[in-house]
Amino acid sequence: MNLLFVCTVNRMRSCTAETIYGKNPTYKVKSAGISPTAPNQVTAELVKWADRVFVMENMHRAFITEKFPGIDFGSKIIVLDIPDFYYYMEPELIELLKVKIDPHLTQ
């Protein structure tokens, strides 16, 4: 299963999720950001590649669906509702990501 994690600048939340789930050989994992300053910017190719796109906030879903209107998203995009006040690999963020993401990986 191909998993894409998206946040704003691709430095804290999405990178933490990529690190956590990238250790599991069941998944192919990538992360990206919506900001022009993100080291890995979200692209149509990344979104098409992913079986599931986990976004941290509603604004990330809105950005992706508006920027790539030709893609049929179906139920591919999942909003995690994780605000931008965590640091990379912060234990509370790790736990929150697992609680919110894991139920979507068994479907």
For position 38, what pLDDT does the model report? 96
Q: Which tokens is 52 given?
A: 């599931």
- Domain enclosing residue 72, as ranges: 2-105
Per residue in 7-33, pLDDT tens? 999 999 999 999 999 999 999 999 999
Q: What torsion, rounded to 10 degrees, do the Cα atoms 2, 33, 56, 99 define? A: 50
Residue 107's pLDDT is 59
What is the pTM for the complete model shown?
Answer: 0.96
CA distances from 70 to 44, 49, 65, 67, 102 (A): 9, 14, 9, 9, 29
Tally of structural domains, the chain? 1
* pLDDT of 102 over the 70 cut: yes
Residue with tokens 């600048």: 9
Which CATH number characterizes residue 13's domain? 3.40.50.2300
